Chains A and B, each alone.
Chain A
Amino acid sequence: MAAPKVAFLLLNLISILPLLVSSFSPDRPTDRRILVVLDDLSLKSSHSLFFSSLKSRGFDLDFKLADDPAIAVKRYGQYMYDGLILLSPSTERFGGSLDVEGVLDFVDSGHDLIVSADANASDLIRNIAAECGVDFDEDPSAVIVDHSSYAVSETEGDHTLIAADDFIQSDVILGNKKIEATVLFKGIGHSLNPANSMVLKALSASPSSYSTNPSSKLSSQPPSLYGTAISLVSVVQARNAARIMISGSLDMFSNRLFRAGVQKSGSLNKYEKSGNEQFITELSKWIFHERGHLKAVNLRHNKVGESEEPSMYRINDDLEFSVEIFEWSGSSWVPHVSKDVQVQFYMMSPYVLKTLSTNGKGLYHTSFKVPDVYGVFQFKVEYQKLGYTSLSLSKQIPVRPFKHNEYERFITTAFPYYGASFSMMAGFFIFSGVYLYNK
């Protein structure tokens, strides 16, 4: 009696399954699912403030132990998650089908990643970070030590808990409220390749920090990582708008450091609460595209006075150009307002470069005269600003020269030639008359 009922219920549930699968799509970046890989399930409670802030913003967190054989981000070619958080610095191998290549494919397909290393980070985590453009110190037992910028505390005396306040200057990445308190950090540091233009230092170390093993004597060679070249937390914005955060300290995310007071050595300021919670929360908002994700729609151009887009312009025409730019606010697309969006009228080099003026509601427009050169041009909008996704739009349009009946009927500079030709005709008539009737 119960069996057919259960079977019926199951049948009903299966019919809802297609709906569930189609409920998240890249065009609707709400209701995102995040896979959190932990190497110790106690992290769920020791880092609960971080996870609850993510949940309160609408993310579905799926916690899995690092060696769980059921870990998979992709099934039948479709990605099951929109974000990945790896808080498993000491894991050598993930269980299931996830590996370095799997993580990189995940990012290459446009999804976001938060990776945290820590002291004694495994090669797996180091390799993932290296592929993202970040080089951790090769010495596996080295941590960041800073003898003049450490956090004053009674328990930790070896100055590995450092107080950092050298943030990246960007309101998009860190929010418009300035982070007053310093951030506590305990872990390893990394350096960035200066030739890489997509990776940024979100939190740098102070000039007096260096990377070393605190329990062994200093070797005679200087440490490989020292000073402000050390980055404690880096962010990467890839060309496909995927965002990656790489941190050298797992403790930075923990409830203990979120709630701790902090006093930087050598400074009189004592903060009741460290800046960790604000820093990590704002940075995770940027990583998961709640700020700084732009989209440009409706690139339109038309001749002044018309409303249709022509298929070809003529030289010396007057035209108008407009584009709409929106920014994702976490729940909807809001107009993006900025004074420095520019459009180029480009053929091998920009013939016209104009700054677009905005009406405050996301519409950017300008008008200019087509240059006196004919050929195939492109309207190009290239907008790359720190912390924002880069916009790269182009629309091709041919420009033709004057048709032969589009010149003025009588060209003023040619009047002497007209005069000469007519005077020749008149001269011919007069000459014939004189010649014939000359006695």
Chain B
Amino acid sequence: MGKSATTSDVHALFHSLRSAYAATANHLKIIDLYIVFAIVTAVIQVAYMAIVGSFPFNSFLSGVLSCVGTAVLAVSLRIQVNKDNKEFKDLPPERAFADFVLCNLVLHLVIMNFLG
């Protein structure tokens, strides 16, 4: 009796989450997909290092940091562009995107240098 109650609760939870997510704007969903792609790549690299060992440690750091840095910049773009966010109400979304591009340029410059 309790078990079926909890499983139905979990189902109800997932259902409400999914329907709420479906309501978000399209451009935010694109950013979310991009973030998931970056994190998955980072996890794959960490698993590879756990198997093979950390020999060119600088290359490992560079690869992981590129993924993590990309994810962080995408998250900050999403925060600034989200219309429901009252803190950034007065910030034009073009300005946010320009900041995003410049920061990405700096990130990739550093990554290329550190990659060896």
Contact = CB atoms under 8 A, between A and B. Distances in A.
Interface in A404-422: 411, 413-414, 416-418, 420-421
B60 A414 contact: yes
B112 interface: yes
Interface in B13-41: 26-27, 30-31, 34, 37-38, 41
Interface stretch (A334-342, A348-356, A431-439): A431-439
B52 A423 contact: no
Contacts of B30: 431, 434-435, 438
8 contacts: A414-B60, A414-B116, A416-B63, A420-B45, A423-B41, A424-B66, A427-B34, A435-B27
Given A421-B62, A435-B97, A427 B70 contact: yes
A414 B54 CA distance: 9
A431 to B, nearest CB: 5
Contacts of A432: 101
Given A420-B42, A425-B108, 16 more contacts: A411-B55, A414-B56, A414-B60, A417-B60, A418-B115, A420-B41, A421-B63, A424-B66, A424-B70, A427-B70, A428-B104, A431-B74, A434-B30, A435-B27, A435-B31, A438-B26
Given A421-B115, A434-B30, A416 B38 contact: no
A436 B63 CA distance: 26
Interface of B: 26-27, 30-31, 34, 37-38, 41-42, 44-45, 48, 52, 55-56, 59-60, 62-64, 66-67, 70, 74, 97, 101, 104, 108, 111-112, 115-116
Main DSSP-derived SS at the A contact region: helix
Contacts of B60: 414, 417
Interface of A: 411, 413-414, 416-418, 420-421, 423-425, 427-428, 431-432, 434-436, 438
Contacts of A414: 55-56, 59-60, 116
Contacts of A421: 62-63, 66, 108, 111-112, 115
B37 A417 contact: no
Given A413-B52, A413-B56, A435-B30, A427 B37 contact: yes
Contacts of B45: 416-417, 420
Contact of B115 (A417, A431, A436): A417
Given A420-B45, A438-B26, A431 B34 contact: yes
B6 to A, nearest CB: 39
Nearest to B60: A417
Contacts of A411: 55-56, 59, 116
Contacts of A427: 34, 37-38, 70
A432 B104 CA distance: 11
B108 A428 contact: yes
Contacts of A434: 30
What 3 A-B pairs have minimum CB-CB distances, sorted nearest first?
A: A417-B63, A414-B59, A420-B63
Contacts of B116: 411, 414
Contacts of A418: 59, 63, 115
Nearest to B26: A438
Contacts of B48: 416
B70 to A, nearest CB: 5
Given A421-B112, A427-B38, A435-B31, A413 B55 contact: yes
A424 B40 CA distance: 11
Contacts of B38: 424, 427
Contacts of B31: 431, 435
A424 B26 contact: no
Contacts of B104: 428
Contacts of B52: 413
A424 B41 contact: yes
Given A424-B70, A427-B70, A428-B104, A417 B34 contact: no
Most chain-B Cβ atoms within 10 A of its Cβ — which of A411, A424, A436?
A: A424
Contacts of A438: 26-27, 30
Contacts of A425: 66, 108
A422 to B, nearest CB: 9
Contacts of B115: 417-418, 421
Nearest to A439: B26
A190 B80 CA distance: 101
A425 B60 CA distance: 16
A423 B34 CA distance: 12
Nearest to A430: B34
A420 B67 contact: yes
Nearest to A436: B97
Contacts of B67: 420, 424
A431 B81 CA distance: 15
Nearest to B29: A438
Nearest to B56: A414
Nearest to B77: A435
A421 B55 CA distance: 17
A414 B97 CA distance: 32
A417 B60 CA distance: 6
Contacts of B27: 435, 438
